[in-house]
């Protein structure tokens, strides 16, 4: 039910998630932010159970902060991905966290953005583009077709909107509202909170 999409561009990472939080057939909240900030240059996008997502993301955020306080240095995206994966893997046989994650981050050392795909079973893979949830079925092929290495920000945003438009059009469960965030050398910024209405002949209403 939750849709998460992300991909890497030229010196940035673009991530989007829908803003629904619900329980069975009901939408309880329609401005729920699923792209959680871990530190100044990393986002953990969560999908799955709300409670597990909250608690697990808090665990990662606090431990990354603790490392920074103890060692006076920020972790790289790769390290955070490995740490997160290990937490999921050790929990799966005892006390599973039902969360699927996309970890996006920008490393100042390499001057590059990176994206990791993490699963509730404890799998982890560095990817250039990917998605979680039902969106992955629709968006996977679009990203395969149109994603290129080193996309400019404008082209990247257009590609992201293309993906979200497809999700809104084909997913029978109504998810019109998406939150798009970008990570680059300046840090994390909210690009747009987009409300997509495909009835209006592919016009997109923008909400800030």
Partner 1 sequence: MFTLGSVLDNELKSTVEDFSFETNFSTNQLMLPNIEKPFEFAQSIIGLEKDLQENENQLMFHQQKKEERKERALIKGYKGTTTLAFIYEKGTVIAVDSRATSGQYIASQSVQKVVPINSYMLGTLAGGAADCQFFLAHLGRICNLYELRNNETISVAAASKLLNNILYSYRNYGLSVGSMICGYDTRGPQLYYIDSDGSRLKNSLFSVGSGSPFAYGVLDAGYRWDLSKEEALDLGRRAICAATFKDSYSGGTIKVYHIDENGWVKISDDDASELWYEYEKKEKKEKK
Is residue 86 at the binding interface for partner 1, with CB under 8 A as the rule?
no
- HEC states along the chain? CCCEEEEEECCEEEEEEECCEEECCEEEECCCCCEEEEECCEEEEEEECHHHHHHHHHHHHHHHHHHHHHHCCCCCHHHHHHHHHHHHHHHHCCCCCCEEEEEEEEECCCCEEEEEEECCCCCEEEECEEEECCHHHHHHHHHHHHCCCCCCHHHHHHHHHHHHHHHHHHCCCCCCEEEEEEEECCEEEEEEEEEECHHHCCCEEEEC
Pick the closer one to partner 1 by CB: 31 or 186. Answer: 31
Stretches 34-42, 46-54, 72-80, 157-165: which one binds partner 1 (CB under 8 A)?
46-54
Applying CB under 8 A, among 65, 90, 98, 123 the residue interacting with partner 1 is 98
Stretches 20-28, 70-78, 146-154, 163-171: which one binds partner 1 (CB under 8 A)?
20-28
Is residue 90 at the binding interface for partner 1, with CB under 8 A as the rule?
no
Q: What is the smallest separation between the CB atom of 55 and partner 1, expressed in angstroms?
A: 6
Is residue 91 at the binding interface for partner 1, with CB under 8 A as the rule?
no
Q: Which residues form the interface with partner 1 (CB under 8 A)?
A: 21, 23, 26, 28-29, 32, 49-52, 54-55, 92-93, 95-96, 98, 120-121
């Amino acid at each position: 039910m939750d849709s998460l999409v992300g991909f890497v561009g030229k010196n940035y990472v673009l991530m989007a998630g829908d803003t629904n939080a619900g329980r069975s057939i009901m939408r309880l909240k329609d401005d729920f932010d699923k792209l959680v900030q871990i530190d100044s240059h990393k986002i953990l996008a969560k999908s799955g159970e709300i409670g597990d997502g909250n608690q697990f993301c808090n665990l990662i955020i606090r431990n990354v902060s603790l490392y920074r306080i103890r060692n006076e240095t920020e972790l790289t995206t790769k390290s955070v991905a490995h740490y997160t994966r290990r937490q999921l893997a050790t929990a799966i046989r005892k006390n599973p966290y039902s969360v699927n994650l996309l970890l996006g981050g920008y490393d100042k050392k390499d001057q590059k953005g990176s994206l990791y795909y993490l699963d509730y079973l404890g799998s982890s893979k560095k990817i250039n583009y990917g998605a979680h949830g039902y969106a992955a079925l629709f968006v996977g092929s679009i990203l395969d077709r149109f994603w290129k290495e080193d996309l400019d920000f404008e082209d990247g945003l257009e590609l992201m909107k293309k993906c979200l438009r497809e999700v809104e059009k084909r997913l029978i469960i109504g998810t019109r509202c998406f939150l798009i965030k970008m990570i680059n050398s300046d840090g994390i910024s909210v690009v747009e909170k987009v409300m997509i209405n495909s009835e209006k002949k592919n016009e997109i209403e923008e909400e800030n």
